[in-house]
Amino acid sequence: MDMFNGAIPHVIEEAGWFAPIIFIIVHLIRPFLFLPVIVVCIAGGYLFGFLHGTLYSIIGLSLMSFIFYKLIDIFPSFRTKIMKLKEKYLKDRVLTIGQVMVLRMMPFVHFHLLSLYLMEMTSSFKEYMRYSIAGIILPALLYTAFGQSFTELPIYVSLLLILLLISLFSYLGKRGTVTYKWHRFFSTKSPSE
């Protein structure tokens, strides 16, 4: 398995113009290879640079969210498996959309479990995809730009960053479990109406 994971960057480097497509496909098959999101995003930054690596990671993770939504409908057993995971780790905890966004930035939190929460919080596929993409942008930026640095930080700095994210998560939870609607931030009506 390690040899296969080491071969992926080599194949992408040799692929030329086809490399971004291969990288996006790696994002899609990442769960089957047991690769964390942070590892793939770091590779994107290394192989394509910050701007292109971030863009390709956002596209790959957005497609993964799209596929997850469709798989849940097609395979009820997949939904059952993710629901069991939710019950095991989070029980009946109600999360806000802000808390889900914070959890997306933590590399050890299950990507599909958070997608399930977003599915339950949103009323349509369109709304789910908007929140999914919004929740993917910041982690893709951070992991691509600073991913290698994060892995090389002293343990006390890493723990401090995790503590900061946990504090933000707790603060957002204390504000209530009201889900924020997309239209509150991006009004479709003109101010004169």
Q: What is the pLDDT of residues 40-76, one digit of tens each?
A: 888 888 788 888 889 999 999 999 999 999 988 888 8
What local confidence, expressed as pLDDT, does residue 31 receive? Answer: 81
Instruction: Examine residue 189 and state whether it is found in any structural domain, yes or no.
Output: no
- Condensed to tens digits (0 to 9), the pLDDT of residues 29-48 reads 988 887 888 888 888 887 88
Instruction: Examine residue 118 and state whether it is found in any structural domain, yes or no.
Output: yes
Burial class (CB in 10 A: 0-12, 13-18, 19+), 97: buried
Using CA atoms, how far apart are residues 58 and 36, in angstroms rounded to an integer? 15
Instruction: Examine residue 64 and state whether it is found in any structural domain, yes or no.
Output: yes
What local confidence, expressed as pLDDT, does residue 190 receive? Answer: 47
Q: Domain of 6?
A: 2-181
Instruction: Examine residue 186 and state whether it is found in any structural domain, yes or no.
Output: no
Instruction: Examine residue 187 and state whether it is found in any structural domain, yes or no.
Output: no
What local confidence, expressed as pLDDT, does residue 63 receive? Answer: 95
Assess contact for 121 and 179: CB atoms under 8 A.
yes
Instruction: Examine residue 13 and state whether it is found in any structural domain, yes or no.
Output: yes
pTM of the model: 0.71
What local confidence, expressed as pLDDT, does residue 103 receive? Answer: 79
Instruction: Examine residue 188 and state whether it is found in any structural domain, yes or no.
Output: no
What local confidence, expressed as pLDDT, does residue 180 receive? Answer: 46
Count of domains forming the chain? 1
Using CA atoms, how far apart are residues 93 and 105, in angstroms rounded to an integer? 19
| Residue whose entry in the numeric block shows the structure tokens 């933000």 | 168
What local confidence, expressed as pLDDT, does residue 182 receive? Answer: 44
What local confidence, expressed as pLDDT, does residue 185 receive? Answer: 44
Please give the structure tokens belonging to residue 134.
Answer: 């919004």
| Residue whose entry in the numeric block shows the structure tokens 């390709």 | 56
Q: What is the mean pLDDT of each run of 10 residues along the chain (193 residues)?
A: 58 76 90 81 83 92 93 86 80 74 76 84 90 90 74 75 77 57 47 49
